[in-house]
Amino acid sequence: MRAFTYQSAGSAQAAVGGTSDKPGSSDKRGDGATVFLAGGTTLLDLMKLDVSRPAALIDIGEATQQLSVIEATAAGLRIGALAKMSAVANDTAVNRDYPVVAQSLQMAASAQLRNMASMAGNLLQRTRCSYFRDTTWARCNKRVPGSGCDALEGMNRLHGVLAVSEQCIASYPGDFANVFVALDGSVEVLGPRGARTIRAANLHLASGDSPAVETTLHPGELITALYIPSGPHTRRSAYVKVRDRQSYAFALTSAAVAMDLQGGTVRDVRIGLGGVAGKPWRSAEAEAVLRGQPFSEALASRAGEAAFARARTREHNAFKPQLGALTLVRALMQVHGMEV
């Protein structure tokens, strides 16, 4: 950890007022920049590991009251940026109307972390790639832009097979963001130059394309709320997470599925995949296979294959396309069998 300045902001406006739009040297929200501190469960870890070296922290914990509503209306679900993961996971309306949202949060991290961590922080959590988190590795394009990637030929069991490249194969580790992008959510943002809305699909940049700069947020921009539109697919939805142990582990592979099923035919479907890609991943390929077709296990298998048709594997993650496809099939079968 390096010396930094610290201030606390009681509102979104105060937080943004305290920032500068000076970008950091690697991740533009990181090194040498002004950085928001929410639950701290990603940020403080990385600071202690000397991976993240912000010049200034603005603690937004005091703005929690202002920024933690959970509001489910006929149009959609609005979640304050500082709502706790646990609060959203336990919310009755979320469990009833957006089971995939609730499940992705219930299966994430541990009870202690969920009580600490905010929804915006959850979206913006950073990769678990060991070569990123351990500064004794010389090559990491995320940490030291232009230095290369030690993970390519290293221990890469947890790494991505989609949205990765020779520059970086770090996987996006979170669960909820895959749901968020599949359900076409968006974030409301307040920055030094005012407010704007960013579609989830446009929020994260892929590790493979842009290792060091991970999002399209501008320096100094604060996420104030998350929004998920409701639809005929949101109730018939589920999250399946495959991991080495039963709880408290990142996904090897996961699948978020929301389906509008009418008389056995898939009218609409949304598919998110976790643990396999360099950013929160929505599989347009798998959705295309299913949309408009009568549902069957064979169709689900074809969707699984389509989802990973462009996968690029490495020595230790060679199993991921197959496991990812099976995970998706399992989620599709489960959702298909749901009574809603």
Ligand X SMILES: Cc1cc2nc3c(=O)[nH]c(=O)nc-3n(C[C@H](O)[C@H](O)[C@H](O)COP(=O)(O)OP(=O)(O)OC[C@H]3O[C@@H](n4cnc5c(N)ncnc54)[C@H](O)[C@@H]3O)c2cc1C
Q: Which does 222 bind (CB under 5 to 8 A by kind): ligand X, other proteins, none?
A: ligand X
Binding test (CB under 6 A) with ligand X, winner from 42, 103, 127, 141: 42
Size of the site for other proteins (CB under 8 A): 41
- For other proteins, the binding residues in 53-92 under the rule CB under 8 A are none
Here the tokens at position 178 are 């895959």
Closer residue to other proteins (CB): 173 or 220? 173
CA distances from 141 to 41, 88, 211, 274, 275 (A): 23, 34, 6, 22, 20
Q: Please report whether residue 329 would count as binding other proteins according to CB under 8 A.
A: yes
| Cβ closest to ligand X, residue 182 vs residue 303 | 182
Sequence-distant (6+) residues with CB within 8 A of 41 are 109, 113, 116, 117, 121
CB of 84 to ligand X, least distance (A): 8
Which H, E and C letters describe 167-192, residue by residue? CECCCCCCCHHHHHHHCCCEEEEEEC
> Per CB under 6 A, which of residues 189..218 are in contact with ligand X?
none
Task: Look up residue 149 and give its DSSP letter.
Answer: B
By CB under 8 A, residue 149 contacts other proteins: no
Question: Which of ligand X, other proteins, none does 329 bind, CB closer than 5 to 8 A by kind?
Answer: other proteins
Considering CB distances under 5 to 8 angstroms, the limit depending on partner class, which of other proteins, ligand X, none binds residue 113?
ligand X
Does 313 engage in binding with other proteins (CB under 8 A)? yes
Does the protein bind other proteins through residue 319 (CB under 8 A)?
A: yes
Backbone angles phi, psi at 291, to 5 degrees: -60, 125
Question: In degrees rounded to 5, what are phi and psi of residue 194?
Answer: 105, -170
Q: Considering the rule CB under 6 A, would residue 120 count as an interface residue with ligand X?
A: yes
